[in-house]
Every structure is written in C-alpha cells, then in structure tokens.
C-alpha cells in the first residue's frame, strides 16, 4: 500500500532532471501538468504526472486545484549564529555602509563575539527555530555555513550544531566551512589569519561538503581566495565563494577558473566574468534579498548572465546582518521584481539549479526521487512571486512524511 496520494492538483510543477544545471534559455523551460497526481511510498515518489486513478494509499490529500511543487532548496544560508544585530538598522539608516560597520568591529565581527559566547546548546535551539520556520515556508533542503567563529573551537562548534540538526530534523542539509569570512580583531594580519584557516581545513574536512570564502575589499583578496580554494580542493572539498558582493574584485572569474561549484552574490561582477559563465557549470547563486536588505539600487545582472548561457540559482543568504529572512518565497518575489526573472526561471532557480549549487539530489519529484513536496495555496505557478511577503505553503512533505500543515486560525468561525 502506498502512503500518500495527492490528487486534484491544479498545477503540478515538474522541474527537469538533468546532468548539469539548467543554463541560459533552458532555465525558462518548466513542465507543468494540469490536473496532476503524485503518489508517495516509503519516502519516495512512486508516480508524478497526469491524473491517475491507478493507485491506492493510506492517506489522500485533496489539493483542491492548488499548486504542487518539489520542496524548495535554499542553497546559501548562514543558519547557525549567536545574537542578533537589530541595532545596526539605525546605523544603516544614517548611511553607514556595510563594510564601514565591519571595519568598526561591528557587522560580522559582532556576530562572531556572540557566537563565541554561545554554548552549543544555545546555538542548537536558536538555529532549530529558524529551521522550523524554513520548513513552514516550504524549504526542504538547506545549505548551512560556519564562519562566525574565526577560530578552531567556534567554527567546529557551529559545524557540530549544524550536523546535530541534520540528524534530528527532517530537512536535508549540506555543510560549508566559511572560516575566512572576516578577519578577527586578534589576528596579526590577513595573510597570517588566512593561513590559520587553511591549516584548519584538516580539522573540518570531514564535517563540511564545501569550503567558502568572503572575497571582498578589506576582507580577502583574489589571490588569497585562490590560495584558499586550491588548498581546500587538495583536501577533497568542493569550493564556493562570496564574490563581487560589493566591489568588482573578479571573484566570479576566479570561481570559474577554479571550477567552483557555485559563485554567490555577483552584484558587481564584470562583463568579461559574466561571459565566462557560458563555458562553465559553476552556478551563479544570486541573493537579491541581500541587495534589498542592504538598501542598494544595483542588483545582480541576472538577465545578462542568462543571455550569456549562465546557470542561475536563487537563495536567501539568511544571516543576522545583510539578509535577515528565512523566507525563500519572499526572495522569489524580489527575484521577479528586481532580477526580472520569469516565473519558470524562478521555480527552476529554487529547485533543480539550487540543488546543483550544493550538489544534492533534490529539486525534482520524478518516480524514484526522495518525496520532498509542497502543496501551495495558490491558483497557478505565476502567483507565488506575485503575492509577496506571505506564506503560501499549505502542506510540506519531507522524505514522504507530512511535516507541516497550515491549520489556520483557532476559535474563529
């Protein structure tokens, strides 16, 4: 007997399973089945497609003509951290820039202080709360970075917390070591600190899938980033980079040269680097929620990257400073409004392509796939980015189990 049948699906969103990420025009191709059926058994999809009566199951979910899609994949988050930085909002309102706040010992460094002070149990409870919220918003796979320790003990503490959550929570996770995220106050100089983080790779390599670095003015240079990426690859880690977020240092070009699995942010990337995307499978992970939250007018040139046959994914960048939201649906709306992506491109960017950016088998719901599925309370697939800032997720299924259902108000008729 099957476990669940979802029947009466108005629009069943079926992103295409491919070897590499969807690139260029292919990003706008999305299969949508009207009046679809999905069947789930033992954590896996048994059937997805046109309406079928050929199956029985213990539970029938009537989707009432609504939309069903694979669970969303959030390919870039800083999930585990201590404290919060609401006081920086006033500084931002006064026009103090993100990098100036960091230079004054605030920003990332203030979260480093709070994270060092937090116990593993405190970090666990705090991150778990965020994860619960992510699931409620329809995210079923998440990448989590360290990077608020900048020392061995705290970086390991963050990675351990993320692994504990991976064990305890239904969500699928990928883990990233982001030791070179900023230069701590106690460091002798950038180069010495970077070497310390390179030396740490041996200690973290079994706890991380990826190594990441913040390549930015006043943080790490292109040459330092190259050195780190090469050292990480020697240890068997795949690499990622926070590139061209604020200044056009050339991080995207470096990522492509080094065969990074993704290059993230890319707001200020050069034309030449964007063109180089055409011959590369490095996924451009765009984080328009961050540009919005930092109050900038210039967004990443998603249209230009797609015209150059690049592969695009969209993620939240959830973190306590530059994008304080775990709602990927909101970021899908910002992607429509500011990156000018089409609804098809957006759905692919938060499912299949996001999965490629973190090397995970997710983002599709074909027979045999892990059953991570969301029923959305919307009339069609274009509606989600259109009606912004609210939660449209009605039912969330992870690994074949219903883990969230929006049960509505209480004591209201």
Q: By CB under 5 A, name the binding residues for Fe ion.
A: 317
- Residue 214 binding target from ligand NIG, Fe ion, none, CB below 5 to 8 Å by type: ligand NIG
> C-beta of 42: minimal distance to ligand NIG in Å?
38
Q: CA-to-CA distance for 199 and 228, rounded, in angstroms?
A: 10
The nearest distance, CB 120 to ligand NIG, in angstroms, is 20
Q: Does the footprint of ligand NIG cover residue 107 (CB under 6 A)? A: yes
Nearer to Fe ion, 5 or 142 (CB): 142
- Partner residues linked to 38 by β-bridges: 6, 48
Which of 350/371 has CB closer to ligand NIG? 350
32, 11 Cβ separation under 8 angstroms: yes
What is the strand order of the sheet 283-286 is part of? 72-77, 139-145, 172-177, 210-211, 238-243, 262-265, 283-286, 311-314
Q: Using CB distances below 5 to 8 A depending on partner kind, what does residue 320 bind out of Fe ion, ligand NIG, none?
A: ligand NIG
How far is Cα 290 from Cα 245, in angstroms, rounded to an integer? Answer: 9
Chain positions 109 to 128 lying near ligand NIG, rule: CB under 6 A, are 111
Region of 49-57, 131-139, 151-159, 319-327 interacting with ligand NIG (CB under 6 A): 319-327
Q: Which of 74, 151, 244, 245 binds ligand NIG (CB under 6 A)?
A: 245
Using DSSP's 3-state secondary structure scheme, residue 56 falls into: coil
In whole angstroms, the minimum distance from the beta carbon of 142 to ligand NIG comes to: 15
> Which of residues 323 and 375 has its CB atom nearest to Fe ion in the complex?
323
Is the Cβ–Cβ distance between 241 and 263 less than 8 Å? yes
Which member of 321, 343, 363, 385 binds ligand NIG (CB under 6 A)? 321
- For the purposes of burial, counting CB atoms within 10 Å of the CB of 27, is it exposed (0-12), middle (13-18) or buried (19 or more)? buried
Evaluate whether 75 touches 331 at the Cβ level (below 8 Å): no
SS3 assignment, position 147: coil
248 and 254 Cβ atoms separated by less than 8 Å: no
Q: Select the residue interacting with ligand NIG from 77, 319, 325, 364 (CB under 6 A).
A: 319
| Cβ proximity to ligand NIG, 242 vs 274, nearer residue | 242
- What's the half-sphere exposure (Cβ side, CA atoms, 13 Å) at 55? 24
Q: Which is nearer to ligand NIG, 108 or 355 (by Cβ)? A: 108
Q: Could you say whether residue 210 binds ligand NIG (CB under 6 A)?
A: no
3-state helix, strand, coil split of the chain in percent (to 5) is 35, 25, 40
Please report how close the Cβ of residue 286 comes to ligand NIG at its closest, in angstroms.
12
- Residue closest to ligand NIG, measured at CB: 321
As a whole number of angstroms, the distance between CA 140 and CA 386 comes to 22
Kindly identify the residues of this chain, within the stretch 131-190, that bind ligand NIG according to CB under 6 A. none
The interface partner of residue 111, options being ligand NIG, Fe ion, none and the CB cut-off 5 to 8 Å by kind, is ligand NIG
Of 104, 146, 92, residue with least CA distance to 123:
146
214 counts as binding ligand NIG under rule CB under 6 A: yes
Which of the choices Fe ion, ligand NIG, none does residue 108 contact, using the CB cut-off of 5 to 8 A by kind? ligand NIG
User: The tokens of 19 are what?
Assistant: 């070897």
Place of tokens 């970086």: 155
Closest residue to Fe ion: CB criterion: 317
- CA dist 78 and 81 (Å) reads 7
Q: Does 106 participate in binding ligand NIG (rule CB under 6 A)?
A: no
Which residues sit at the interface with ligand NIG, rule CB under 6 A? 78, 107-108, 111, 214, 242, 245, 290, 317, 319-322
């Amino acid at each position: 007997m099957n476990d669940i049948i979802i029947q009466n699906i108005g629009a069943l969103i079926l992103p295409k399973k491919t070897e590499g990420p969807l690139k260029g025009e292919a990003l706008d191709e999305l299969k949508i089945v009207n009046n679809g059926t999905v069947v789930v058994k033992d954590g896996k999809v048994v059937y997805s497609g046109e309406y079928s009566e050929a199956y029985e199951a213990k539970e029938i979910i009537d989707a009432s003509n609504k939309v069903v899609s694979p669970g969303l994949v959030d390919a870039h988050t800083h999930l585990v951290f201590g404290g919060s930085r609401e006081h920086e909002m006033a500084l931002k309102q006064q026009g103090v820039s993100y990098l100036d706040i960091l230079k004054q010992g605030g920003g990332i460094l203030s979260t480093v202080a709070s994270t060092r002070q937090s116990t593993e149990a405190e970090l666990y409870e705090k991150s778990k709360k965020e994860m619960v919220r992510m699931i409620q918003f329809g995210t079923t796979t998440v990448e989590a970075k360290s990077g608020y320790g900048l020392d061995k003990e705290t970086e390991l503490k963050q990675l351990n917390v993320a692994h504990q959550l991976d064990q305890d929570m239904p969500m699928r996770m990928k883990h990233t070591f982001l030791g070179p995220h900023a230069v701590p106050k106690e460091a002798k100089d950038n180069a010495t600190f970077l070497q310390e983080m390179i030396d740490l790779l041996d200690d973290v390599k079994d706890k991380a899938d990826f190594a990441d670095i913040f390549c930015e003015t006043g943080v790490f240079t292109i040459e330092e980033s190259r050195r780190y990426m090469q050292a990480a690859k020697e240890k068997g880690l795949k690499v990622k980079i926070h590139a061209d977020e604020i200044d056009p240092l050339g991080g995207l070009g470096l990522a492509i040269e080094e065969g990074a699995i993704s290059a993230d942010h890319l707001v200020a990337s050069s034309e030449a680097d964007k063109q180089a995307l055409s011959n590369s499978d490095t996924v451009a992970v765009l984080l328009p929620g961050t540009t919005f939250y930092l109050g900038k007018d210039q967004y990443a040139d998603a249209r230009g990257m797609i015209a150059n046959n690049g592969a695009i994914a969209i993620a939240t960048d959830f973190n306590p400073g530059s994008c304080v939201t775990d709602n990927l649906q909101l970021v899908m709306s910002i992607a429509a409004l500011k990156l000018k992506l089409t609804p098809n491109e957006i759905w692919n960017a938060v499912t299949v392509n996001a999965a490629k950016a973190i090397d995970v088998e997710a983002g599709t719901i074909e027979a045999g796939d892990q059953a991570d599925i969301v029923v959305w309370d919307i009339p069609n697939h274009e509606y989600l980015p259109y009606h912004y800032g609210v939660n449209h997720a009605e039912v969330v299924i992870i690994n074949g189990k219903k883990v969230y259902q929006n049960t509505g108000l209480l004591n209201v008729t």
